[in-house]
Structure 1
């Protein structure tokens, strides 16, 4: 019987020493990502940013007690037509504990959020 979701063989994702020191996840920066795969993360607790000029959402992220990820998007998601601008690029990706620190990050949440980012980045690579 095939499992409907990863469980026992689920990979554990961790931050590099550089990422933990800086809070920047540069391995995901300047990478094109499929907007559909990105928006699918909203089913996993990720949120779109508030619309700015001309109804463009330029932020995406997830915040939980103990771990938060903030992504700056380029060119941004158009509110009226999410596919209008096409694929997005992660301009800047930051992870903190919610207060700006990277010292006390919840390791389970770090792994889950990194897994989501790896999945989105891989979705673009296979298109």
Structure 2
């Protein structure tokens, strides 16, 4: 099965005594990232967990945190606590479409990378 692999990779495989299949869970989508008080917001995997098939989960978490920090820094001189819910709503709306794009990409990649042997898998690998 591994004859086409380069020699170093085949050498590594000779030392594998057991393989384990890991199941990947898909988290339920959260409809709101903002708490009822409007003063708490979830970011990163707590807000938008995704399967690891696009290598974007950490990047999206960092983008969310940095984006939120920039918005808060920009608003800070004139920010009143009563304005925070509206500010967080705007942030959530702004981030949602980009995060959703990577969630969908990850799920699509997971399906493509996990095809059972057959015509679709052969077409993908051609």
Structure showing greater Rg: 2
Q: TM-score, normalised by structure 1?
A: 0.31
Q: TM-score, normalised by structure 2?
A: 0.31
Q: Which has the higher helix share?
A: 2
Q: Which has the higher strand share?
A: 1
